[in-house]
Every structure is written in structure tokens, then in C-alpha cells.
Structure 1
Amino acid sequence: MLFYVLIDKEEVMRFSPVPEMDKLSKKVLRPGLPLSYLQYYLKDLISSDKITFKKKLQNIETSIINQLVKGLKKDEAIVETQFNWQEGFQSKIHLNEEIFSRIITAIQGRLITEGELPVIARTIGISEKELLVILNEAVSRGFGDWLPAISRNQAGWICERCNSNNRIQEWPSLYGQAATCKECDILGAQTSLQTIFKFNPANLHLEQPLLLDHDEDQLDEKWSIQFTTAQANAAKKLIEYTEEQKAREVLLWAACGAGKTEVSFPLIARYLAQKKKVLFTAPRQDVAHDVHPRLLKNFPKVSIKLMSGAVVQEFKESALTVSTTHQTLKFYRYFDLIIFDEVDAYPYSGSAVLNHGLKTALSESGQIVYLTATPSDELIKKASSGQCPIIRLPIRHHGHHLPLPQWVKIPLKVDNPLKTEPTLSGNVTESLDTILREVMLKGPLLVFVPLVAMVTEWIKILQKMFPLKTVDGSWSYDPKRREKVNSFQEQKYDIFLTTSILERGITVPGVQVVVLYADHQIYDVRSLVQMAGRTGRTIDSPTGTVIFLASSETKSMKDARKWIQEQNTFAKQEEVQNA
């Protein structure tokens, strides 16, 4: 997108992609340049706080042209540019206030990339040119700002979407040196030739009152589950810490299957009743897709939007949004409350970019509630120091304790580390057949393997081993992932193989868990605890079997057993107190 330099009668300079719509412009410089180049080349002429000149210039117009020519020449630009000033003029395009209002309402709180403009235009039913005019008018009225997708300064480049300056790839363009951000390209590639529209949070508002089926003080009668004493107490504490104590961050540490998601519903209801904006986010698509229908069921009259990267993006006003953590990079200072499920999970854990997205999506006075069964050491330390109130929920909703994993020693190995085909001796095959056959008597089998390539290999092995059983599997980039996972949840498979993508956010009635190569270095204590937590999650099947198959017992395997034992001990203590 090209921007043009405008000068008005007060000698204030502006940049606009639609100069013909600027009512105050006296002069327009043509041709246009990408916004990042205009800002960088003219930085010596303008103040840092606003686009006014640092000092009175004898010939403003000539100075601007000289700076641009100098910059393009230094960058070895290929484009032939003959700049010239033209008188400002008015376009015959008329702004439709109804459409303007509808679009502004639909994109509240958003960072809109240039690549999303055609999608929005098609959704609204207008041309891209009309949309550009509306967004520029929004900037004029203080509803937003134009930003280069990737800004340039003396130190280099920085991505305005993800705030990264690490994985920036430079390349020559018509205008000289350009850059692409590789850190957030999963959301769509961005270059320094492109632009972002950033909504101004100071002008947010909700036009219509939100409809709720629930009294915000009701904790245990109208939700999809009937709260236990422990769940009701945790829900009340969440409200106390956020509303009464105004804590910016709260940690809900719950056992796998304790119903931590539903425990957050009363708090969500209170925020929605106050016309506040709520985000429920998680690092992985499977968790977002699992939570979305549960929220729809519990908030049937609330507009709920799902953003996971696997569904068609909707541009509509929503009181409640469900997303993956990558999608938080599309918001700016918007949400009053963020419920962050599985905070310790990949790919969020350890990602400065996704942490930036989360914090930037939160409003200036917003609050975050972390939900997890396996908090990171950093989060536990923050809670222990009093920086983040902590709520413990160690009792599963049905009252049964977490299954304790069993280690069964089997010499599973891959002969060639560059390959993933397992080599199974006759004794190993016989032992494996006996173990799996016995476990399958209790219910469907969820089998974890450490590497994506192992999924298809082990599907073949188990299909041969159990020809009368239905066997399938999935992995992170499997195009049929959602379809297969849904089928497994509907108990259409006897055996389902997967990687750690299903260690969280999935409930399958009666499922039993086997972890192959449990001693693999990719499995840390939290992964193993989460895998074990897939069993015994429903009231009809509150128990289950978890088996770690490995050549040796690693520290992570021992720590996982210890973690679960401590959680069960704490649960017993809570049961005594609640009795």
C-alpha cells in the first residue's frame, strides 16, 4: 500500500493512502511510497510526538523531496521516482455513515493487516477502495492509526504485530532494502512494504446490551455441570481476587479433570453482564475447539467468536472471543478479562512473541486468570512471592483421584537415530501385544509417541497386531486432524495414536493411556502429567490406566508420578476440610 505526503495550510504534514479524501490538504506529493519508507526517510524533519516540522524551513516542499531522494538513493532503490507537488483536490467518493459505523463496530480492538483488507471488504460487501476510505476516515476521527507492518529505525527493523526484531529477513525491493518478519508469518506474511491499521482502544464501546441466561451470582444451578463444593469455592475465590482485590493476575492450579474451565464461567458471566470484553485463549487449537462448544452451551445468548486459524475468520462484534494464543497478536488493548488456559503449554511457553501478544491484547486495566494443571516454575514462584494470588483445586469433579502411571520396562528403541522406524524383536512384540490387549479391555486406547513421523509407523504396527480393531492417528499438521479427533471422541476408534498435541484439551469417555518411548528426551514432567490426566475424566468412567513404556525410568517419569501423588495427597486433605 502506498502513502502520500500531505501538507495543510498550517504546515502540518500527514501521510495518507487516500489523499483525495483529505479535506484539509493544501498540497499532495506524488508518487506515493510505502509508509515505512516515508517515516524513516523524513524522520529528521519531523517531531517524534506528532508529524509537525522540527523547525521552520525555508522551503518545506523542496526539503521533503530532497530527503526522500537521498534516502532512496542510499538504499539503492530501483524505482525511478520523479517527485512533484500537486494541489489538493476533493474526491467525489461519499462516505456512507451507516457502513462506516458497522465496520468500526466489527473491527473494535483489532490490528488489521493489509492482507486482511480483501477479506473484510468481501464480508461487508464493499470494494477494497471503499474500505480503505473508511479506515482512513477512522484514523482522521481518532479511532485508529496507520502503522508500517515492519518499522525501521537506526538499529534495524521491528515487526509492529509481534514486536520481534530477531527473525527479520532482509531483501532488495523496488524501493531499496525491505524486510519480512518470519516470527509471526504463521498468521500471514508481512513485509515493510505493507501497512497495519491499529484500532484506538480509547474509543471502544458496545452498542447493544449483552444478553445473559445467568444471574451472575448463581454458581451451581444453571451451568452445564453442577458445581462440587470445591468448584464452587474456587469460583467464589476467582471473583473475590479479581473483583474485590483487583488482582491483575490470578492462578487457578487444578488437577487434570477438575473442571477448571467451568469454574471460570461465573467470573466470565459477571464481566459480560458489565458489558466488558472477555477472551478465552489457549496455546493449542484442540483446546480452543474443545472449549468453544462448551461456552456456546453455557452462554447461549452471548455472541461468541472462534479464532483458531483453522476456521473462517469472522469480522463481527463479539462479547466473548475464543482463540489460540497466536491469534492474540491480532488485538490491541481490547480485553478486560483474559482466561488463559494451559498457560504452560507449547508453543506459548518460553515464547516472547506470544507473551507480547497476550499482554498487548489486554486492556490497560485488564486482568488475566491462568488455568493449568501443571504451572511452570516461574508461575509457581510468582504465586509463592505474592505477586499472583493462587487458588488450588486438586479434587476432580467426580471425586476420584488421578490415576497413577505405571512404568513397564520394554526395550523400545530406534536403531538409526535418523529414522523413526521401530525395530521390535519377537519378545517385545509379544509383551506389547499382551499389555495393550489387557488395557483395551477397559476402554479405547490413546497412544502417545514422541515424534510426528512415528505416528504413521506405529499405526501400521498396531493395525497388523490388532487386525480386528479400528486404528488411526493424527499429528499437528494433519489436514484431517479435527475430523479424526472428533471421531475418536465419538469412540469410533479402538486405538488412536498421536503426539503431544493431544496431551491437553481432550476428553474421551473410558479412554486408557499408553506412552511409548516414555523415556524420550522430548517428554518433560508436565507433558507426562498431562498425558496421564486424559484418563478418568468423566463421571461414568472416573478411573483409568496409564502406562509408561520405556527401556528405563527417567527423572521426568519419576517426577510425574511424584507430582500426581502430591496432588492426590492434597486432594485428600481438601476432602477432609470440605466434609
Structure 2
Amino acid sequence: MREYLLYVKVGREPIQAYVTPCFRVDQNFWQEQEGSQLYVIGRTPSLAMAFSLRERLHQYLQERQARHDDVNEQAVARMRQIALTGVRESNALYGDTFSDDQGKSSSEWFEWREGIAEQEDGSSPLSMRGDVELVKEVLAGRALLWEELERLLQTHGIAVPDLPQLLQRLVLSGDAQWLPGVRLQVRKSWLRHSLELGCTRCGSGKEKIELTTCHTCGQGCAYCTECLGMGRSKCCTPFLCVPAKRAPSSHTGHAGRLAWSGCYSRDQEVAADRARQFVLNHWGRNAEFLIWAVCGAGKTELLFPSVVAALEQGERVLIATPRKDVVLELAPRIQRVFPEARVIAVHGSSKEKWEDCDIAIATTHQVMRFYQRFFLVVLDEVDAFPYHQNPVLYRAVARAVKTGGRLLYLSATPPRYLQKRLPAKKKSLLGRSSYALYSSSHVLLPGRYHGHALPVPQIFTVSGLDKLLAAGRVIKPLHDMLKASLDAGRQVFVFVPRVEEVPRMLGYLQAVLPEYRDGMAGVHASDPAREEKVMAFRDKAVKLMVTTTILERGVTIPGSDVAVVGAQAPVFDEASLVQIAGRVGRSPDDPQGTVLFVQSYRASAPQAAVRQITQMNQLAKQLRDRRKMA
């Protein structure tokens, strides 16, 4: 069982408390650096407890404004008493919060011993400087739990007999930071004290933390349920963060060569260049930039100059997207246009997640394993589930950006908090209610690449919609729209708000449109035949697809129309409805189409979606008119 020792360092620098798994490494390091004097406070198998006590000592030293000559045997005894009091309080609070069938008393949840462990008696220096540089290079830009960093080193064929000692050397030299996977702290108040817990990796609070008796540390422990799918973050599990402080020398050369034969429209060229200037402007005040481009504007292609700018500086690039299927589609596409760059796809079952690269295409959940690694981080579909309104993933993406790096948002429907960051609207062509076309922090591309307007949805309110569907009654606006589309040889998306409504809607449509029943199908996220059905829809074997919001993004079917049945449902917010409408008219060969929103009562989201689409069309038209007059 590993133990963690708490000590106080008195030297040239301000008095500080430290936690170490191997005290002799710290003794040798501080002797080499400044000949400091170290006072041992005690040791515990609980890493979270050791860090909690360290914070207590820091607070005590700051309150006393302790100086070097204030530290004597009496002061050290006082600090040991503070630590012992902290352990007792934590034991009592843990026992009050958690109960199991082991019958432990309130003094047995967290062990605390004074003095140095027997194996720490020696003070001979460790000869590991070569291993330190090698491990630091492999771990650079990573944020990993102990088991993960061991796996990463194993993947690279690195075996280090004294890994805790080596990592502690990195921590002392300022090249790494390690913390408990789940932090623990006693929060005091006049009414009652409480035990505060939080996950260091994902940032979740105590509502996502589960208390347990740990078989690893034998102590009172806790683990995070929010990020459990990526490995168990616990009180006794070290979480190591190693920033990438410089661009790796292996990333120089021709990685930034762009092999793309396409060409931009005039508006696309302006948008792509403004994003590129943002990446190149190291002295700019803004570290974040938004490309707001409507559905079908060619957003991915707009990234190419920015990626080139980062790669030519010898830097790494991360493109994060909320969905695995987009990662799988985007990685080979990016590899084709950057043939000399190392491109990897990082998702839950990926075999490349531990490899080095020039460009990483990753799901937003996997970004939690990166730490200050990428100079340019591109966040695609910032408004999409699961990233949208998820503070865990917000923190993960921000943590992946190197110090001085750039974060580039890419969205057709940016959330309100990003829209509010845009500057004053005085440059707008449409008055006060419209955003500026560009600024130092954003660029707005209101038109599609083929120059045609976005299809504007029609809204129909049908009282008693659910009852009519259940009774199999013909709903004339829906029936007429679907029949006209199918008669014209077009394909149709029919969106419903919930999974259980997919088979019901499919049965209803097969009954009211019997001549097309064999060309209909339904799909949802947990459908085992999901990929096959979507492929059949792409291949036109399926003419009408009933679906949930899983197909609101990333699927382009030329010659298609859209109906949303139950558009008043909360799952269909403004952004979702704009994205759904964006499935129509994406091809230059078929730029028009029909979008129908059917709601059971007047809801705000459909109206807001129509306003946004109309506003973008007006702005795009005025831009075209301005060019004609120029």
C-alpha cells in the first residue's frame, strides 16, 4: 500500500507544504536546489487526505504570515496537531455521511502516522535524469489517471522501475502536477461542518461522487460517477497533468502542406482568412474566435488555412466534435487534404488514443485526457449534445489548449452565451437586431456556398395533434406535404421528439400513405440496425425515414425535404430546428425544398428558428446586392 508524506519546506522561497510518495527524492532535490530544511508532519495512505491537510497548513502559514525564523520545534508540533485535528474531523464527517456493514468506528476511516516510513530512511540520490526527459516527452500534453499513464508508457515501450520517484521529480521541477482523482476537504460553517468532494479530472461536484470503502488504499474513499466510463477517478488515484511547453521538433517540416483542389466563394475566402489571422496573431487580446456559418456553408473547408497556420509553426491541432460518427467521417477527410500530417481519430474504442500526432480528431469526452497540448483547438458543433450546457466538457476543452494557444468555435447555431460575446452590432446591415458580419472575435457567414437562400420552414398548429395521430386520422398539412414530396421522387426526413414515437409514427404514415409503405423506415440512437438503415436512406432504397434528433446533423441527402411532427417538444429548441431545416437544399443541383413544422400548440422555438433563418437570408441577399452595386 502506497503512502503519501506531508512535510514543510523552509528555505529561500516562502514556506510551503508538500505532498510526496517518496520523501528521499524530495530531500535530494531540495538539497541540490537550495539546501532547504524539511520538517515531516506525517503520512497517510489517502492521497486526497494528504492534499486536504496540505491546504490546511497553507492556510495556517498564510494567516500567521510565517517567516523562516518562525519555524522551530514548537511550530512544527503545532502543525502536526493541526493535521491530526483535520484527520479526526474528516473521520467523523465521513462516518456520518457513509455507512456500510463493516462496523468501523469514526476513527478508522483515514489512517494518520507521524514520522518517516522505514523504506524512506535512506537518502541516496536516484540516477534517473535520462528517464525523466524521456517520460516527460511522452506524457507532455496529457492529463491522466495513474493506470492510464502506465498504459501510455507501456504503449511506447518504456519501463520505469521507480515510476513514482521519477514523476515526483517532474512535479518538483515544475514540469508536472499531480493531484488526487477526487479531492476531499472539510468545509466549516457556524451551523455545521461538511465534507466537500469533487472530481479533479472532470470537475463534477459532490452530487456525482459516490463514497466507498476502497480495496486499493484500505481507507475511506470516493469515486466520480460522471466520468466513470473513462476509468475510475478516486481519492487514492493520482491524476497527473503534464503541460506541453514547446512544439515537438518532430512536427516541423511539411505537415502543413494542403492538398485541396477546391476553391472558396468570395464570402468563404474572407471568413477563412479572418480565422487564419486569428491563429497567427500571437499578440491579440482574444484567445477565442467564432466562425458562425449557416448550414451548408462549407464550415469544415473554412478551417483549412487556420490548420495550415498552426502546423507551419510546428504546433499540434485538435478538432473536437461531440459525436463519434463525425470523428470517423472527418479523420480520413482531413488526412486526404493534409497528406503529410499524422492524423489520428480519438474516441472511446480508438486504438490511436495514446499515439502522437499533428492533428487529432476527437470526441469531446476524450479531450479530458489532454492537458495544454494543442496550440489550436477547434470545437465543432459547439451547440450540440453532449457538449452543449455540459460544464464538464467546457472545462476539458479549455484545459486542452496550450498557454498562449487559440480556441476556435465552429457552429451554424451558436448558443446564446457565445452570441453574447460578440461585440457591438454597429456594423450590421440589418439594424440593431442583427449581428456584425465580423470582428476581432468572430466572423459571420450568412449564405450557403452555392449562393441560394436557406429554405424557410412553414409552421402549422394542429390542436389535439397527439390524439389525431393515435386515432389514425389524416392530418392534411402533413399528409399533403409528404405525398407531394414522395410523388415528386424526393426523399423525406420525418423527425419526432422521442424514441418511442418512432414506431408509432412509422405505423401511422404507412397507414395514411399505403402506396409508399415499403419505402419507409424508422431509426433512433439505440437501433441495432442504425448504420444499415441510414446507409439505405443514403442509397435511396428508403424514401421516407422517421427519426429522432440523431439525424439533425451530419447527414446530407440531396433532393430531400423535412417534416418535424411535435415541433413544440422541448427537445426541439431553436438550434435543433435550424439544424433540421438545414438538411434541405444543401446541393447546388437541388438548392430548394420544403420544411414543415407541425406543432400541437404555439411554441416559441419554431418561431425563433424561422426568424433566424429569415434573418440570415436577408443578410446574405444584402451582401449579394452590395457586390452587384460595387
Give the TM-score band, short-chain normalised: 0.7 to 0.9
Q: Any idea what SS the aligned residue of 1:24 has?
A: helix
Cα offset for 1:473? Answer: 0.8
The one-letter amino acid paired with 1:439 is S
1:538 aligned residue: 587
Q: Any idea what SS the aligned residue of 2:314 has?
A: coil
User: Following superposition of structure 1 onto structure 2, how do residues 93-492 of structure 1 map, counting pairs within 5 Å?
Assistant: 97=130, 103-117=135-149, 119-125=151-157, 135-155=167-187, 156-165=196-205, 167-169=207-209, 171-173=211-213, 177-202=220-245, 205-212=248-255, 214=257, 222-223=259-260, 225-244=262-281, 246=284, 247-309=286-348, 311-312=350-351, 314-385=353-424, 389-408=441-460, 413-414=465-466, 423-428=470-475, 435-440=481-486, 441-462=488-509, 466-469=516-519, 471-475=521-525, 485=534, 488-489=537-538, 491=540
Q: Deviations over 1:88-140 (max 9, x none)?
A: 34899986947x65654343211102342454255334669676565445435
Q: Residue 88 in 1 paired to residue 121 in 2?
A: yes
Q: Any idea what SS the aligned residue of 1:536 has?
A: coil
1 CA distance for matches of 2:355 and 2:304?
23
Cα offset for 1:529? Answer: 1.0
Q: How many residues align?
A: 564
1:219 aligned residue: none
Q: Any idea what SS the aligned residue of 1:294 has?
A: helix
Which segment is superposed worse, 172-181 or 8-17?
A: 8-17
Closer, same or farther in 2 for the Cα pair 1:241/1:127, shift >3 Å?
closer
Consecutive unaligned residues in structure 1, runs of 5 or more: 216-221, 416-420
Cα offset for 1:528? Answer: 0.9
Closer, same or farther in 2 for the Cα pair 1:437/1:104, shift >3 Å?
farther
Cα offset for 1:294? Answer: 2.5
2 CA distance for matches of 1:49 and 1:261?
53
1 CA distance for matches of 2:166 and 2:9?
24
1:36 aligned residue: 48
Which segment is superposed worse, 233-242 or 163-172?
A: 163-172
Q: Any idea what SS the aligned residue of 1:382 has?
A: coil
Q: TM-score, normalization: structure 1? A: 0.82
Closer, same or farther in 2 for the Cα pair 1:452/1:104, shift >3 Å?
farther
2 CA distance for matches of 1:97 and 1:478?
52
1 CA distance for matches of 2:329 and 2:251?
28
The one-letter amino acid paired with 1:259 is G
The one-letter amino acid paired with 2:596 is I
Which segment is superposed worse, 489-498 or 189-198?
A: 489-498
Q: Deviations over 1:233-269 (max 9, x none)?
A: 2112223344357242322221210112211211111
1 CA distance for matches of 2:542 and 2:470?
25
1 CA distance for matches of 2:278 and 2:358?
22
2:193 aligned residue: none
Structure showing greater radius of gyration is 2
1 CA distance for matches of 2:125 and 2:527?
50
- On the 8 A contact 1:512/1:545 being kept in 2, the answer is yes
Structure having greater relative contact order (Cα 8 Å, sep ≥ 6): 1
Cα offset for 1:545? Answer: 2.4
Closer, same or farther in 2 for the Cα pair 1:504/1:445, shift >3 Å?
same
Closer, same or farther in 2 for the Cα pair 1:169/1:236, shift >3 Å?
closer
Q: CA RMSD in A?
A: 4.0
1 CA distance for matches of 2:414 and 2:456?
19
Consecutive unaligned residues in structure 2, runs of 5 or more: 30-37, 92-105, 188-195, 426-438
Q: Deviations over 1:4-55 (max 9, x none)?
A: 32879989975444668778399999985132111223544468999x9985
Q: TM-score, normalization: structure 2? A: 0.76
Q: Any idea what SS the aligned residue of 1:309 has?
A: coil
| Seq. identity, % | 28
Cα offset for 1:553? Answer: 4.6
1 CA distance for matches of 2:150 and 2:543?
45
- On the 8 A contact 2:346/2:363 being kept in 1, the answer is yes
Which segment is superposed worse, 110-119 or 19-28?
A: 19-28
Which segment is superposed worse, 190-199 or 54-63?
A: 54-63
Q: Any idea what SS the aligned residue of 1:321 has?
A: strand
Q: Any idea what SS the aligned residue of 2:365 has?
A: helix
- On the 8 A contact 1:229/1:578 being kept in 2, the answer is no
Q: Residue 527 in 1 paired to residue 576 in 2?
A: yes
Q: Deviations over 1:366-396 (max 9, x none)?
A: 2222222223333333213388533221221
Q: Deviations over 1:300-349 (max 9, x none)?
A: 22122323435345112222222233333333233322222222333333
Which segment is superposed worse, 346-355 or 144-153?
A: 346-355
2 CA distance for matches of 1:488 and 1:136?
56
- On the 8 A contact 1:513/1:532 being kept in 2, the answer is yes
Q: Residue 56 in 1 paired to residue 102 in 2?
A: no
- On the 8 A contact 2:43/2:112 being kept in 1, the answer is yes
